């Protein structure tokens, strides 16, 4: 079964707006990662947050992690048309470092 599930499945916003995507998971984790996939391409790593961290920033990206709720969010500020892509969260469970991916959020940023 999928460990991570993203919400919403699809999101359409105007350029310059912020985009927030959520991820929920079921079991204890070591790390949670976010990846981006442009159409027809492989996945690209964005950010990794460890289970003992609550928030992490990287450029226009902000990730939060709430282990009590088993959820994470990815915020992209001041979105650009180039941010149009699918975004996936991936978790590795306690005792296992294999990544399990959710089905992704498809983000469309309209110029």
- Span 18-57, contacts to other proteins by CB under 8 A: 30-31, 33, 35, 41-45, 48
CA of 4: how far to CAs of 24, 77, 97, 100, in Å?
Answer: 5, 23, 14, 7
Out of 54, 57, 80, 103, the only residue in the binding site for other proteins (CB under 8 A) is 103
Out of 76, 104, 106, 109, the only residue in the binding site for other proteins (CB under 8 A) is 104
Rounded CA gap, 99 and 93, in Å?
Answer: 8
Q: Which stretch binds other proteins (CB under 8 A): 12-20, 59-67, 70-78, 94-102?
A: 94-102
Rounded CA gap, 80 and 85, in Å?
Answer: 11
Q: Check residue 99 for interaction with other proteins (CB under 8 A).
A: yes
- Our measurement of the distance from residue 30's CA atom to the centroid of its chain's CA atoms, rounded to an integer in Å, reads 16
Binding site for other proteins (CB under 8 A): 2, 30-31, 33, 35, 41-45, 48, 88, 92, 97-104
């Amino acid at each position: 079964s999928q460990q991570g599930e993203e919400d919403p499945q699809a999101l359409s916003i105007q350029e310059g707006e912020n985009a927030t995507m959520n991820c929920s998971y079921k079991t204890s984790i070591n790390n949670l990662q976010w990846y981006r996939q442009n159409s027809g391409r492989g996945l690209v790593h964005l950010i990794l947050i460890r289970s003992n961290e609550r928030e992490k920033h990287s450029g226009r990206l902000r990730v939060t992690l709430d282990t009590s709720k088993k959820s994470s969010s990815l915020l992209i500020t001041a979105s650009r048309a180039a941010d149009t892509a699918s975004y996936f969260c991936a978790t590795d469970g306690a005792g296992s470092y294999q990544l399990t991916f959710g089905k992704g959020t498809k983000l469309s940023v309209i110029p």
